[in-house]
Amino acid sequence: MSKVRTGGCLCGAVTYRIGGPLRPIVACHCTQCRKSSGHFGAATQCLSADLSIAGDTLAWFKSSDTAERGFCYRCGGNLFWRRFGNEHLSIWAGTIDGETGLRMESQIHTESKGDYYDLPDVPILSQSTLK
């Protein structure tokens, strides 16, 4: 059985509970992740069915033709990313409460990285290898 994990936004208005397994962390250097986070994105992922969300300040922004991002409209906390029609949902690793036990396994969209940092020392994947 998977460990139950909890998390939420900066102000605490949106909280979540994950009851299933989590994927290792993937760093995303795409322009959208950099603009929404202020740096690169670091996300884990679970089955949407394993996630329960509480709170009434969660908003979704359609960031492309294929995906949307979930955030708290009160504090601006960036929480989720999901591809339309996919059974998985990505969760920003920094929003998980306490120790995660997860490690960064890979990274994507490195061609879009900012010029002010070096890439982490983890494998580079193509977007097509992810769920």
The H or E element spanning position 91 is: strand 88-92
- Cβ atoms of 23 and 45 within 8 Å: the answer is yes
pLDDT at 128: 55
For residue range 43-60, list pLDDT tens digits in order.
Answer: 999 999 999 999 999 999
Sheet holding 78-83, edge to edge: 58-62, 67-72, 78-83, 88-92, 41-47, 25-28, 104-108
Q: Is the pLDDT of residue 72 over 70?
A: yes
Q: Please name each of the domains of the chain with its CATH number.
A: 5-116 (2.170.150.70)
Q: Count CA within 13 A, CB hemisphere, residue 19.
A: 6
pLDDT of residue 98: 95
Q: Cα separation of 108 and 23, whole Å?
A: 15
Over residues 19-38, the mean pLDDT reads 94
Q: Retrieve residue 78's tokens.
A: 């960036």
Instruction: For residue 86, give Cα distances in angstroms to 18, 20, 131.
Output: 17, 16, 8
What stretch of H or E contains 75? none
User: pLDDT band for position 1 (50/70/90)?
Assistant: low
Q: Is 102 exposed, middle or buried (0-12, 13-18, 19+ CB in 10 A)?
A: middle
pLDDT confidence bin for 3, thresholds 50/70/90: confident
